[in-house]
Amino acid sequence: MRIFAAIVPPDDALADLGDFLEPRRDAGPELRWTDPSLWHVTLAFMADVPERRLDDVALAVAEAAAAREPFAARLHAGGAFPHAGDARVLWVGVDGGEDSLDSLSTLARGVRSSCAHAGATPEGGGFTPHLTVARARHPFEATRWLRVLDAYSGPDWTADEVTLFASHAPSGGRPRQYRPVATMPLGGEE
């Protein structure tokens, strides 16, 4: 199974970003815009987890989430992977002040470590808090898009839970679908 642990911003924050991006979606034929229903901030991604390990991973993520307190956040500015001159992904960043970024990074490290101990080693390098808004089939120069994204600053919200998702690729070339498996509160409250 492909699974990932993520923070999903609240509907009003996602709607605000959607309103900001909507008039710009037709401006770049090189881009495939991510469906807003799939927007999330990935903390840990595991590409190949045996289904029998799913409960162990969910428990590990719940324990990591319980060890961290809710924190302030907002979607703000943007970036490109791997870099602006040769971009394949456009993203919007997560902000909320230095304490919030520290909390988010600490949460991601805890979730990744807990998943690894549960037998589901996360992929990827260093953690860059982001929400993917568009992908490209071929690398492109993204500087103009970064200027647009850097103008964005969404409403404040509180990150107070982590959701574990299973990712499925439907037939017929349709985009991946994400199914929530479990939602765990930060701070251990229910």
User: Which DSSP string corresponds to 134-154?
Assistant: EEEEEEE--HHHHHHHHT-B-
CA–CA distance, 63 with 46 (Å, rounded to integer): 18
H-helix or E-strand containing 92?
Answer: strand 87-95
Catalytic residue check, 117: no
CA–CA distance, 165 with 37 (Å, rounded to integer): 13
- Choosing from 76, 130, 138, 168, which is the catalytic residue? 130
CA–CA distance, 88 with 134 (Å, rounded to integer): 8
Catalytic residue check, 168: no
Per-residue pLDDT of the chain (190 residues; tens, 9 = 90+): 899 999 999 999 999 999 999 988 776 667 889 999 999 999 999 999 998 999 999 999 999 999 999 999 999 999 999 999 999 999 999 998 778 889 999 999 999 999 999 999 999 788 999 999 999 989 999 999 999 999 999 999 999 999 999 998 777 766 778 999 999 999 965 5
Q: Alpha helix locations (H) across the chain?
A: 11-21, 54-66, 98-117, 143-150
Phi and psi of 75, rounded to 5°?
-85, 135
* Domain 2-188, CATH among 3.90.1140.10, 3.10.110.10, 3.30.70.100, 3.40.190.10: 3.90.1140.10
Task: Give the full edge-to-edge strand order of the sheet including 177-185.
Answer: 41-46, 2-7, 161-168, 177-185
* Whole-structure pTM value: 0.92
The domain spans of the chain are 2-188
Report pLDDT for 170.
73
**Of 52, 60, 183, which is closest to residue 118 (Cα–Cα)?**
60
